[in-house]
Amino acid sequence: VEIEWEIINHRKIKIIINRTKNVISKSKLAHWAINHYIGCTHACLYCYAKYMCKIKPYGRWGSWVEIKINAPIYLKNRILPGIGALSSIVSDPYQPIEKRYELTRRVLEALDKRNTFWILTKSDLVLRDMDLLKEYRNVEVGITLNSFEKRIKKIFEPYAPDYEKRINTLQELRRNGIKNFCFISPIIPELTDVESLILETKDFVDGYWFEFLNLKGAGKRFREVLSRISYRSMEKLKSGSLLRKEIEDIVKKYGIRCEGIILHQ
Ligand code: SF4
């Protein structure tokens, strides 16, 4: 393991360069996941992956990234069974460090192009790899989207690309014939306007996932901040079946394709 330091978004970030063979993991969301990065400098306040700081004691969530630098070597020409996820839960595959290391790009280059998987990101950097995405027949790219107003976004997702960039990314994916989906998450009643997101995106999005905030996974600090911003949001998040019904009604109203509604109660 080697340690380097990078300045990302005016912050000093610890980079842990690991040469492990261990790049394919189990996932609750797919048959397999390739986690070539662990850690994410988007540093979302609600991120459910911050539990990783207990396993990897490198510092606060968002202040470090572990890079499995040899991942492309171990993935060369591999065909993996079922449907997978390229980086999931523990990182964003197109976080800023990807600009320098191009590890996600090299993983896409290495894998057999017959694999079926999805990529979920908040970043327009995924557009850089359009040439490779086009070589796969069964890849879908999802963009996480929310309608947080600027002041809230600054607190919840301080270093993630802004809303306009994410919308533009969905449009570009569509223009280039790459199947896309919108991951509306984390839905926080009072703060997320699901209907307006659908109205704005339905003409260029293939499908939608809806995920309500996982209050437990978001952690104590986030719960404290949210209760200061909007106590009603906390209360509403506990009314599970009503929340599902609201989404089902919107899906019906606009005739969009719903891939799933995730509630964490
Ligand atoms: S972009 Fe995703 S993985 Fe990265 S900090 Fe935000 S929620 Fe966590």
Helix (H, G, I), strand (E, B) or coil at 233: helix
Instruction: Decide if pLDDT at 145 tops 80.
Output: yes
Average predicted confidence (pLDDT) for the chain: 96
Give, using CA atoms, the residue closest to atom 8 of ligand 1. 47
Of the listed ranges 76-90, 127-141, 154-168, 235-249, the one predicted with least confidence: 235-249
Of the listed ranges 19-28, 105-114, 140-149, the one predicted with least confidence: 19-28
- Compute the average pLDDT of residues 132-161: 97
* Ligand 1: centre distance to CA 43 (Å): 6
H or E element at residue 226: helix 215-229
DSSP annotation string for 139-154: EEEEEEE----HHHHH
pLDDT at 88: 79
Looking from the CA of residue 61, the nearest atom of ligand 1 is 5
Ligand 1 near 185 CB (within 6 A): no
Instruction: Decide if pLDDT at 135 tops 90.
Output: yes
Ligand 1 near 52 CB (within 6 A): no
DSSP annotation string for 40-99: -TT--TT-GGGGHHHHS-SSSTTSEEEEETTHHHHHTT---SSEEEES-SS--TTSTHHH
- Compute the average pLDDT of residues 16-35: 93
* Ligand 1: centre distance to CA 37 (Å): 12
